[in-house]
Amino acid sequence: MPQQVQDLIGFLDGTLPPTHPYVKVEGAARGETSPEIWLLGSSDYGGALAAQLGLRFAFAHFISAFGGEVVSRAYRQHFEPTQREPQPHSIVCVFVICAKTEAEAERLAASVDLRRLHMAKGIDAPGAERRGSPRVPLFAAGARRTSSSSARAWCTATRSRCARSCSR
């Protein structure tokens, strides 16, 4: 992946070496400048790569709900300035649920909560069947599933924090 990101930067900035296989490729809508490049990551690897390459970093909270603060702090601490990006820039990407009523929003959010719980338990993860984990159940089975009170509290608190943040 690092090489692909570097190839993209070279392509966008017009700095690919003359022997590069993509040097003759032309974009259909080229402008005077190239767009900002944001590296989306859900772990310390994505943050470290963005810092090393001097790129903007977007933490994928919607994929990994934990560790965003630590990863983002490490990104800023280890950021290597470049001509393209002289200083670090970071954002957090989150799920947002919109509905006409709070009850409808809660109903829609339940599927996100269930998926997060499955991810935490490794259910339906790549290779899960080989490790003995079940696949994600059908909707009816998911609707019957109960989770621990601490998991439900975490999901509720997360939604409440996001709702407060979005309303500011």
pLDDT, tens digit, 9 for 90 and up, residues 107-146:
888 887 887 777 777 776 555 555 554 444 444 444 444 4
Q: Do strands 38-41 and 90-93 pair parallel, antiparallel, or not at all (unpaired)?
A: unpaired
Beta-carbon-side half-sphere exposure of residue 166 (alpha carbons within 13 Å)? 13
Tens-place pLDDT, residues 73-107: 999 999 999 999 999 999 999 888 889 998 898 88
**Radius of gyration in angstroms for the set of CA atoms belonging to the chain, rounded to a whole number:** 20
Cβ(62)–Cβ(93) below 8 Å: yes
DSSP codes joined into one string, 41-65: ESSHHHHHHHHHHT-EEEEETTT--
The tokens describing 98, both together, are 């919109």
Q: Which residue has the tokens 């690092």?
A: 2
* pLDDT tops 50 at residue 46: yes
Tell me what the mean pLDDT of segment 51-70 comes to.
Answer: 90
Q: What pLDDT does 155 receive? A: 59
Give the residue extent of every domain in the chain. 2-93, 102-167
Compute φ and ψ for 12, nearest 5 degrees: -65, -35
Q: What pLDDT does 112 receive? A: 79
Report the C-alpha gap between 75 and 55 in whole angstroms: 10
